[in-house]
A and B are shown apart, each in its own frame.
Chain A
C-alpha cells in the first residue's frame, strides 16, 4: 500500500490528537501512535506539586500590582505633591476665613485669580499625566463654568460673559489651581467636607462654591472629585473604608475581574469623570522574564543575550487566539 501525503486538514487532526493510529492514513499509524503517547495526560504527584502550588500562591500574594513599580513610584510622588497642594488650599481657605472673621469682609476674588486648565488654553496641566489631560471634558466643564461664575461672583462681570477662563480662590496663593494637583487638592478638601456631611457650599468658601457651581450641585461635584482622585491614583475618602480591588467604587466600571488589575482612567465621554477598568493586555514586558522577575536566583540575571537560541524572540507575546487542543 502506498503511503499518502498528509493534507493540511489531516495533519491538523493528527497533531490535535483527533486521529488515532487506526484511523490514520496508510503509513501514518506509527506517527499517530508516537504523537498519541507523547500527548497522553499525565499526573502530578507527591508533595513537590503541592509545594509548587503553595509557592505559586505565595508569589501571587507577594507580587506587585500589575501596573508595576514605576507607576507606584509616580503615584507616591503625585500623592506627596497632591498632599502639599491640598494643604496649601486648606491653609489658604482657613486664612481667608480667619481674615473674613476678623475684618467682616471676604477677601476679593480678584486678588488671587488663578488659572484652571481651560479648553484651548496652554494649561501646564496638559503635561502632568492623565489626571490633567487638557482634553478632559470634565476639566473643560469645570474651567468654563468656574471662569464664568467666578467673574460673576466677583461682581465685575455680572453677566458672566467675561471671556477669560479664570477661576478665583479667595485667599489662595496664585497658582494653586494652575495644574491638576491643585484641582486634585481642592477635590480632596471638598470630599473631606462632603463626607463630613456638609452639602451647602453656596456660601462661605468661594473655591468650593465655584466648584459646586461648575457641577450643578454638591452631588455632581462629589462625582467629579471622586473621578479626579481616582484618575490621580488617590484614594477616594468615601471608598477607602470598603473599597475592593475589583474596581468597585461606585463609578462606571467594566471588565471587573478583580485581582487588583484594574487601572482607572478618566473617561472622556461624560460631563463628570467616570472610570473604566482596563485590563492591561498581557504583553511581553509582563511576562515572567527571568532577568526581570526571578529574584530568587541571581543566576538568572545578567545573562548575555547573545546566546539566545535561534528562533527565540524575547518579544513574543503570549497567545490570545484560539487555543490548541489535545
Chain B
C-alpha cells in the first residue's frame, strides 16, 4: 500500500496565510503537516492523552487563528505554545505533572489504530519508541526541550518562547540532554525510572 506524501506543504508560508483567511484546504494541510509531531510531543508529556490534547490545541488555536500574523515557522511555534498551554491545563487537572513516562502500553496507543496502513503502524511504533527512549532516558525538562527541538522542529529561540526560557538556557539543556541520551544508549547511564 502506497503511502501518501506527508510533510510540509509546498509553500508553508502561503498555506499559513490562506489558513488565516479561513481556507479549509489550508487548515487541513497544516493539520496534516503538524499534527503527527504535535501528538507525539503531547503523548510523551501526557501519555494516553496526546490525541485529545492535540485536538484541543487545534480547536483552541482555531479561535484565534484569524489574528495570527507570521510565517510557517512562527505558526509552528505558536501552535506548540498553544499545545503546551493545553498540557499545563492537563497537568493542572491532574493536580501534578505525572512522574511516569510512556510505557509500552502507551506506546501502542499511538499505533493502535485500525485504519493505519501496516507500514504506518511500524513507523508510528518506531517514532513512539524513539520518543519513549528520549522520555525515559532524560529528566522531564531535558526530554521536553529535546522533543520540541526534534519532534516539533522548533529552534532554540522558539523552544525558549514555548517554555518561557532564554534561548541560551535551552541550548544548555539540549546539550545536556544529548549527552545524557548518548550515555544511556551507550549503557553508561541508567534510564529514568
Known A294-B56, A303-B93; judge A43-B6 contact (CB<8 A): yes
Known A260-B66, A319-B74, A323-B76; judge A14-B178 contact (CB<8 A): yes
- Give the residues from 31 to 63 in chain B that come closer than 8 angstroms, CB to CB, to chain A: 31-32, 35-37, 39-40, 51, 54-63
Question: Please, what's the 1-or-0 string for A282-326, where 1 marks a CB less than 8 Å from any CB in chain B?
Answer: 100011111101101001100110011111111111111111111
B66 touches A259 (CB 8 A): yes
Q: Pick the residue among A16, A30, A307, A324 that contacts B158 (CB under 8 A).
A: A324
Shortest Cβ distance from B181 into A: residue:
A31
Known A60-B62, A63-B62, A307-B91; judge A323-B77 contact (CB<8 A): yes
Query: Cα distance A282–B79 when bound, in Å?
Result: 12
Neighbouring B residues of A216 by C-beta, 8 Å: none
A55 touches B62 (CB 8 A): yes
Question: Please, what's the 1-or-0 string for A91-125, where 1 marks a CB less than 8 Å from any CB in chain B?
Answer: 00000000000000000000000000000000000
Shortest Cβ distance from B24 into chain A, in angstroms?
6
Chain A interface residue bracket vs B: 35 or more
Shortest Cβ distance from B72 into chain A, in angstroms?
7
Known A45-B116, A59-B62, A294-B56; judge A319-B76 contact (CB<8 A): yes
Neighbouring B residues of A219 by C-beta, 8 Å: none
A307 touches B186 (CB 8 A): no
Shortest Cβ distance from A62 into B: residue:
B63
Q: Does B105 have its Cβ within 8 Å of any Cβ on chain A?
A: no
Neighbouring B residues of A303 by C-beta, 8 Å: 89, 92-93
Query: Cα distance A296–B96 when bound, in Å?
Result: 23
Q: Does A27 have its Cβ within 8 Å of any Cβ on chain B?
A: yes
Q: Does A44 have its Cβ within 8 Å of any Cβ on chain B?
A: yes
Q: Does B2 have its Cβ within 8 Å of any Cβ on chain A?
A: no
B36 touches A44 (CB 8 A): yes
Q: Does B71 have its Cβ within 8 Å of any Cβ on chain A?
A: yes
Shortest Cβ distance from A307 into B: residue:
B92
A43 touches B163 (CB 8 A): no
Query: Cα distance A39–B185 when bound, in Å?
Result: 18
A287 touches B28 (CB 8 A): no
Neighbouring B residues of A318 by C-beta, 8 Å: 70, 74, 77-78, 81-82, 161-162
Query: Cα distance A65–B64 when bound, in Å?
Result: 9
Shortest Cβ distance from A49 into chain B, in angstroms?
7
Shortest Cβ distance from A13 into chain B, in angstroms?
12
Q: Does A163 have its Cβ within 8 Å of any Cβ on chain B?
A: no
Q: Does B134 have its Cβ within 8 Å of any Cβ on chain A?
A: yes
Neighbouring B residues of A39 by C-beta, 8 Å: 37, 150-151, 153
Known A308-B92, A318-B77, A324-B158; judge A43-B185 contact (CB<8 A): no
Question: Please, what's the 1-or-0 string for A219-258, where 1 marks a CB less than 8 Å from any CB in chain B?
Answer: 0000000000000000000000000000000000000011
Question: Please, what's the 1-or-0 string for B1-43, where 1 marks a CB less than 8 Å from any CB in chain A?
Answer: 0011011000000000100111010011001100111011000
A49 touches B32 (CB 8 A): yes
Q: Pick the residue among A62, A293, A313, A324 that contacts B164 (CB under 8 A).
A: A313
Neighbouring A residues of B40 by C-beta, 8 Å: 38, 42
Query: Cα distance A39–B151 when bound, in Å?
Result: 5
Shortest Cβ distance from B175 into A: residue:
A11
Question: Please, what's the 1-or-0 string for A119-141, where 1 marks a CB less than 8 Å from any CB in chain B?
Answer: 00000000000000000000000
Q: Does A40 have its Cβ within 8 Å of any Cβ on chain B?
A: yes
Neighbouring B residues of A45 by C-beta, 8 Å: 113, 115-116, 120
B31 touches A52 (CB 8 A): yes
Q: Does A23 have its Cβ within 8 Å of any Cβ on chain B?
A: no
Sample of 9 A–B contacts (CB below 8 Å): A6-B175, A31-B178, A39-B151, A48-B51, A53-B24, A53-B28, A66-B64, A288-B61, A321-B73
Residues of A within 8 A of B (CB): 3, 6, 8, 11, 14-17, 27-28, 30-31, 33-46, 48-49, 52-53, 55-63, 65-66, 257-261, 279-282, 286-291, 293-294, 296, 299-300, 303-304, 307-326
Besides the known contacts A15-B174, A48-B51, A257-B69, 7 further A-B residue pairs in the complex with CB atoms under 8 A apart: A6-B179, A17-B150, A38-B134, A52-B58, A257-B20, A290-B86, A318-B78
What are the 4 A-B residue pairs with the smallest beta carbon separation, nearest first? A323-B73, A313-B164, A319-B77, A42-B36
